Amino acid sequence: MIDKTFESLQRAVADVHDGATVMIGGFGNAGMPSALIDALIEQGARELTIVNNNAGNGDTGLAALLAAGRVRKIICSFPRQADSHHFDALYRAGKIELELTPQGNLAERIRAAGAGIGGFFSPTGYGTLLAEGKETREINGRMYVLESPIHADFALIKALRGDRWGNLVYRKTARNFGPIMAMAAKTTIAQVRQVVALGELDPEVIVTPGIFVQRIVKEAA
C-alpha cells in the first residue's frame, strides 16, 4: 500500500544533509512552508543552497533559517525588501552568496529542471551584468541568453490538502512555485493543512500529481 504520509515534521526533514540544495515554496509569506522550515532549523543541516523567490521576510520562516546561519547560498529574484534585514546583514558581512535571477527566468529554470530540459534561451538579462559569462545568441533578430535549469535535492512546499499518495491541491496565491518545485527536486516534502482519504480530491482540481511528491505531512493545528 502506498502511503507517503509522515507522522511528524521532524521525521519528514530528518535526512536533509549538509550542503543540500533546497527549494522552498512561497511568494513572500503566501505558501511558505514555515512549519517545515522550523523543523529544518531544529534538524540542524548547514551549508545549504536555498532556492526561493525572495530572501526572507521579518524574523520567521526563511528569514529564521538565514538568521540561524544555515544557508551558504541563496538563488532568488527579489532579495531585498523593507524587512529583509537578516539577508542584508549576512550579505554585507560576506557570509552568504547570492545568485540573482529575474523572476521569470527563475520560474523557467525550475520548470526546465522538472521537464528534463538541458537549458533555454531567454531575452531577459541580455546586456546586463546578469548575462556575464553566459552564452548569448541572436534568434530572429533578437539577442538571448542561455539559462541553465535548477535542480534540487529537496523541495519544501505547502499545499491546502493532500492524500496519502501525495496528490495536492493549493489555495489561491499559495500555489505559486510549489508545482514546479515539486517536479524539479529529487525529494519533495509537502506540508498540508489537511490529509484526506483517497478519492476525496477531485482529479480535475489536483494540481500536483502524487508522482512528484515523496512525503506529505500535516501541519500542527
Q: Is residue 145 part of a domain?
A: yes
Contact 30, 52 (CB under 8 A): no
Q: Is residue 2 part of a domain?
A: no
Q: Is residue 66 part of a domain?
A: yes
Give per-residue pLDDT as tens, 88-142. Answer: 999 999 999 999 999 999 999 999 999 999 999 999 999 999 999 999 999 999 9
Q: Is residue 175 part of a domain?
A: yes
**pTM more than 0.85:** yes
Q: Is residue 167 part of a domain?
A: yes
Indicate the average pLDDT of the chain: 96
Q: How far is CA 145 from CA 75, 104, 131, 151, in A?
A: 18, 13, 7, 19
CATH code for the domain of 161: 3.40.1080.10
Domain count, the chain: 1
Contact 91, 97 (CB under 8 A): no
Q: Is residue 103 part of a domain?
A: yes
Which residue range forms the structural domain that includes residue 118? 9-218
Q: Is residue 72 part of a domain?
A: yes
Amino acid at the residue 119: G
Q: Is the pLDDT of residue 181 over 70?
A: yes
Q: Is residue 176 part of a domain?
A: yes
